[in-house]
Structure 1
Amino acid sequence: MNGDHELSDREPARMYDRAVACTSTGDVLGVVEALCARETRDATEWAARIAGEVVSPDGPAGGRRLVRWTAWRLARRPSRVALEPLFAGLPERLDRAAEFRACLLQEMALRFGLDGGPYVAYRERLAELGHPLAWLPLASLDFERRLRDGGWTPGSMLGSLRPAQLRSRYAEVPPTAAGAAAGRGAREVREVARGAAVVAPFGEEGVQDVRFYVLPGPLDPVDWNAALLAGLPAPCLEGTSTRTMAAVHTTADDVLCDLFVAAFGGGVWGEPRMGAYGRLLAWRGLYALMGLGAEVSPYDAVRRAAEHRWLRFAVERHGGNDWFFGDLTDIAFAVLDPGRTRVVVLAHTETD
């Protein structure tokens, strides 16, 4: 494609054939971008047809990118008026057209909030057909405000924070001898399924370290600090000390946001999942960190998240730990359960 997609009033219907003739997913997206920019009902319907029908020249990964990117792009419009007719009919099966609308429905839910019309019926039909996105609420929770208001774009990615930066932005509790003892006495346990869900937002790129521990006894909240983490046996914590690590107190919505950004943008080398699947994977990751089942609603999960204690930590570059380098997209969190006896540690780096 030449990149000039200025459209006349009669042009939208011709763009479908131009999309079919494209030789790369990027060129198809150029056609879709021109249609999305029009914001008319006709252009919207043809953009939806391309996303739901045109086979990607770059195979399955390109097809996912086309479907998810188009849904995200349409939901970035200032109004949802031209989008509502796309949900007038209910799907009979989970084909590509239904997948596109499932993504669009959740992109709109996150951005606008959907409180009626055909949206509820479409979501209920998706649930009947077993689509995973039907689990998400049709409006963003206040807990998700950073997901909704962040202005994320396909190139968005996590950013590393050094220990000094953490200390300037968050509250840090001093290390304690009892915290160090609790860390040294912790017993690691295997949680394969939970671990897979925790790291799923990061895709197949980068390196993750997720560990589950049982403490020797209930932890005094004042001992939930860097000294405890430094005592835990984990690759991401090897060689750390309270001098080379900062562990600061945070909240679950901070964790959810980082999981979302990781899934949304795909990191430096990964596949972007965009808003709909980014939101789903972020919630699943947060549930796995807390050990919650899918039967728990997001509203109840928010309440339960407040009963946990959360740390964000960072390690000095070349401070005796070879796992973190601090030059790309490092993040690290730890969570203490309400009984104060179980700890989960999650760390991610894209420096190999």
Structure 2
Amino acid sequence: MDDALSKILTKPLTSRNARKMERLAGRGLKYGEAAFVADLGIGLARHHRSAAEFDGLFDRLVRLLAVTPGAGHVGQLLRMLAAAGPDDPERDRYLASVLAACRRPADLAVVFDDGDTAAVVSEELRVCLLHELVLRGVPVEEIPGIAGWVTSPHWNGHPLGGLPLTLMVAESEPDLPYYSVDGSSCGLPYGDPEDRHPAPRQADRVPAAVETTTAAIAEALAAPVANWVDEGEQSEARVEARTFAFAEPLEPGAVPYAFVGLSPDCLADLGELPPPGRATAFGVVAVEPAEVWRVLFAAASTGGPYESGCYGAYGRLHAWRALAALAGARADASPGEVEEHVRRCAWYRFGADTPWFHRVVWDLGVLAVGPDRRRLAFLAATATD
């Protein structure tokens, strides 16, 4: 460590000094001094870890190295992270998202290197980064430096190990975040289907139904919005995830009335539906499974109003768990089997102006009718800031 850096680190880590160090790091990167930024982060971890300003400043240095273009920045970032102490899965998920969004795949081969960096790069960072790249359409099995690790069997036992290494048909156009030094942004594809669907016509006959929800199915259905509930009472999150079996096949036109007839909590106090062509407080619209997947993925990856979700890799996992449960696939079904179930189902989004929904941003309503048209599964969720 040179004398100038030692002098900087001997000063107390006040908020004012933290801002000065951040500006100094930014200027250093402009002149290609990524090693200086890494040394600064390492020194902070050694001398100021207990300071109140440490976590925020260290995270800013991580973001600087991750998003600023420059050769060797990723390697220096890994060197700095090695000094940060124990592995942090939440940080790894976040960092994987940032790196995949901001770096060329070739620049990320160092993360998968089994050489000197192997001891300091966590498996969690590698697996999450892998699936963040898959979400961006990167052919990971063809990238030199990545392909060898990807095709090795040692990480197959990881929770993300069962996901395919290419996007399936339903995983089209995911809403992925954009990162800069100063922040991030991401689209929220929830919307409300009621403005593109008139009041449904009265069904001639709706067959009887019995509920078939189990605890395991409900958990899988609600996987994408579990983080909304984890935010605590401040988000006022509500989730309803249920399945039903009908005595006879449902006709497509009967789906809205059949759903209302199940008396779900999310439609309580809906009232009578108006005649077709009139304004309605309830809308059901047929959609492609890709639209349902995008909503589920956004819910899991971006989170609710008070937290940032689980980012892309685990967002992909939770979206597929829910999509598989909606489609009626077995819990241990292969990706190919899940995709076949998804393809054969009829998919819908719904919205309702009822007291159950907060009607802010985080309102979600999706349902699927199985290939035999006797099984209906739905997920409704809402949260507010």
User: TM-score normalised to the size of structure 1?
Assistant: 0.83
1:94–1:129 contact (8 Å) kept in structure 2: no
Partner residue of 2:12? none
Contact 2:301 2:315 in 1 (8 A): yes
Is 1:115–2:152 an aligned residue pair? no
Q: Is the 8 A contact 1:331 1:347 kept in 2?
A: yes
Query: Aligned equivalents of 2:250 and 2:74: distance in 1?
Result: 56
1:312 aligns with 2:344: no
Equivalence for 1:215: 246
- Report the AA paired with residue 372 of structure 2: G
Q: Where do 1:175-324 residues align within 5 Å?
A: 175-178=201-204, 181-182=206-207, 185-202=208-225, 203=227, 204-205=230-231, 206-224=237-255, 226-240=256-270, 241-243=272-274, 244-293=281-330, 295-316=332-353, 321-324=354-357
Counterparts of 1:1-352 in structure 2 under 5 Å? 1-2=18-19, 3-4=22-23, 5-6=25-26, 7=28, 8-9=32-33, 10-18=35-43, 20=45, 21=48, 23-51=53-81, 54-55=84-85, 63-89=88-114, 97-111=122-136, 112-116=138-142, 117-125=144-152, 128=155, 130-147=157-174, 150-151=176-177, 156=186, 158=188, 161-162=191-192, 164-167=194-197, 174-178=200-204, 181-182=206-207, 185-202=208-225, 203=227, 204-205=230-231, 206-224=237-255, 226-240=256-270, 241-243=272-274, 244-293=281-330, 295-316=332-353, 321-351=354-384
Q: Secondary structure at the match of 1:286?
A: helix
Task: After TM superposition, give the deviation of residue 81 of structure 1 in Å.
Answer: 1.6
CA offset at residue 286 of structure 1?
A: 0.8
Q: List runs of 5+ in structure 2 lacking aligned partners.
A: 1-17, 232-236, 275-280
- In 2, are the aligned partners of 1:332 and 1:346 still within 8 Å (CA)? yes
Structure 1 CA distance for aligned equivalents of residues 82 and 257 of structure 2: 53
1:65–1:52 distance in 2 versus 1, CA, 3 Å: farther
Distance 1:132 1:99, change over 3 A: same
Change (3 A) 1:294 1:40: farther
Give the whole-Å Cα distance in 2 for the aligned partners of 1:67 and 1:38.
18
Separation in 2, partners of 1:152, 1:134: 26
Residues 206-215 or 103-112, more deviating: 103-112
Is the CA contact (8 Å cut-off) linking 1:199 and 1:210 kept in structure 2?
A: yes
What amino acid sits opposite 2:251 in the alignment?
D
CA 1:287 to 1:43, structure 2 compared with 1: closer, same or farther past 3 Å?
Answer: same
- Cα displacement (A) at 1:113: 2.8
Per mean C-alpha deviation after superposition, the further-off stretch among 278-287 and 2-11 is 2-11
What amino acid does structure 2 have at the position aligned with 1:275?
G
Please report how far the alpha carbon of residue 304 of structure 1 lies from its aligned counterpart in structure 2 after TM superposition. 2.4
CA deviations over 1:149-170 (Å, ceiling 9, x no partner): 6556665464653454243xxx
Q: 1:290 and 1:70, CA in 2 relative to 1: closer, same or farther beyond 3 A? A: same
Structure 1 counterpart of 2:371, one-letter code: P
SS for the counterpart of 2:222 is: helix
Aligned residues: 333
Pick closer, same or farther for the CA change 1:339–1:94 going to 2, 3 Å: farther
1:3-28 residue CA offsets vs partner (Å, 9 max, x unmatched): 32322434144144155245454322
Whole-Å separation in 2 of the counterparts to 1:19 and 1:126? 37
Q: Secondary structure of 1:45's partner?
A: helix
- In structure 2, relative to structure 1, the CA distance for the partners of 1:296 and 1:242 (3 Å cut) is same
Report if aligned partners of 1:198, 1:288 keep a CA contact under 8 Å in 2. Answer: yes
Letter in 2 for 1:288: A
Task: Provide the identity percentage.
Answer: 26
Given that 2:41 and 2:80 are in contact with CA atoms closer than 8 Å, whether structure 1 keeps it comes out as yes
Q: Is the 8 A contact 1:251 1:306 kept in 2?
A: no
- Please tell me the residue identity of whatever aligns with 1:102: V
CA distance in 1, matches of 2:115, 2:164: 19
Residue 340 of structure 1 deviates from its aligned partner by 0.8
The structure number with the bigger radius of gyration is 2
Shift of 1:263: 1.1
Corresponding residue SS for 1:178: coil
- Gap runs ≥5 in structure 1: none
Work out the CA distance in 2 between the residues paired with 1:166 and 1:284.
28
CA contact (8 A) 1:29 1:66 kept: no
Tell me the secondary structure at the aligned position of residue 263 of structure 1: helix
SS of the residue corresponding to residue 92 of structure 2 reads helix
Could you tell me whether the CA contact under 8 Å between 2:176 and 2:186 is conserved in 1? no
Tell me the C-alpha RMSD between the 2 structures. 3.0
